[in-house]
Amino acid sequence: MFRRQAIQIASASILANNVFFDPLEEALGAHTHPYPTKPLPNDAAPKHILATSLFGTEKLERILPLAEQLGIEHIDLWPKIHGSQREELTQMGEDRFAELLAKHKLQLGCITQFPLGPFGLADEIRLCNRLHCPTIVTGSGGTAGLHGPELKQAVEEFIEKLKPHWELAREHQVTIAIENHSKSLLDSPDSILWFHEFRMRHAAGAPDGLAVAFAPYHLPQNEKLLTDLLAQTLPSIALFYAWQHGKGCMQAQPKEDELLQLPGKGPLDFKPLLKTLRDGKYQGWTEIFMHPFPRGIPIHSDLKKVADEIRTAQAYIDENW
């Protein structure tokens, strides 16, 4: 059985041996060949969801037809600074937004709301309920870099403080998914393990309403560690980002280097991670993801190329699921 101690030992070993990928120290080539798509039975296939931020601040009327062409049935709506489609929803109104989704045979699967934080989501939860959207992603905030008993206590206090918001989400058939993110409380393998443990303990058998949005980008780039962590915490994961560190996303760089964040292009082997999700009968979202630099622009200036990148990554995931 996988143990928290094993994660601690593995993390320490990774850091000691410089396995954690440093974008300033390594130059890695991209795998550019396409991956063939193999059909999967619906109950076994990954549940793809499309992040509107991949298109920057493009209008929904341009994004949604591409989502339909890709065969992705759900979208994740992003606000500024990464996108602007959440603000567009407010501007056009809920009825017009619902009409646009229906026109392209799409559903709203998630709203990402880092600006509001985990304690400011009450109105967003009610909006999601009205739009039949089951997921909101946000960050934990809090103190980063904690370890040992201090980390354990901080995560438990965070869960305790979240209880009324968790309950509100549950009442409205919405799940708040906390992304593990750098410079926040949920920033390490141990923090995710503690979150999972306290979530299950405090849920009293009904853990719906609170979960993790699992982001490999923000964790050590080691397949064994990530696979073990996924296996241990899978019941608490509502969204899996198919997203790796590559050469990072915090500075301008050649497009081929920036795209190394995508699955199948950078150095991280997603195959064992995807197998863990498949073997564990994972039913949450799988979101192909990366950040461009600067934020708020599409990952390609040509939106057709954005769709092509997503299609290639989608085929890689389906082939290795």
Q: What is the pTM of this model?
A: 0.88
Tokens of 212: 């993790």
Q: Is residue 114 assigned to a domain?
A: yes
Chain position carrying tokens 């994740």 = 76
Tell me whether residue 36 is in a domain: no
DSSP letters of 16-48? Answer: HTT-S--TTT-------S--------TTTS-EE
Residue 202 in tokens: 């405090």
Other CB atoms within a 10 A radius of the CB of residue 80 amount to 14
Q: How many CA atoms lie within 13 A of 186 on its CB side?
A: 26
**Domain housing 106:** 44-320
CB count, 10 Å around CB of 250? Answer: 9
16 located within any domain: no
Instruction: Kindly state whether residue 39 falls inside one of the protein's structural domains.
Output: no
Contact status, residue 8 vs residue 190, Cβ threshold 8 Å: yes
Cα→Cα distances 176→48, 190, 226, 297, Å: 18, 20, 22, 27
| Domain count across the chain | 1
Instruction: Residue 74: name the closest of 269, 285, 217, 249 by CA.
Output: 285
The answer to whether position 33 is within a domain reads: no
Alpha-carbon Rg for the chain in angstroms: 19
Residue 49 falls within a domain, yes or no? yes
**Residue 20 maps to a domain:** no
Domain containing residue 291: CATH number: 3.20.20.150
Q: What is the pLDDT along the chain (321 residues), one digit of tens a residue?
A: 334 544 553 444 443 333 333 322 332 233 332 333 344 555 679 999 999 999 999 999 999 999 999 999 999 999 999 999 999 999 999 999 999 999 999 999 999 999 999 999 999 999 999 999 999 999 999 999 999 999 999 999 999 999 999 999 999 999 999 999 999 999 999 999 999 999 999 876 666 899 999 999 999 999 999 999 999 999 999 999 999 999 999 999 999 999 999 999 999 999 999 999 999 999 999 999 999 999 999 999 999 999 999 999 999 999 999
Per-residue tokens: 298: 């599409």
Q: Is 81 a member of any domain?
A: yes
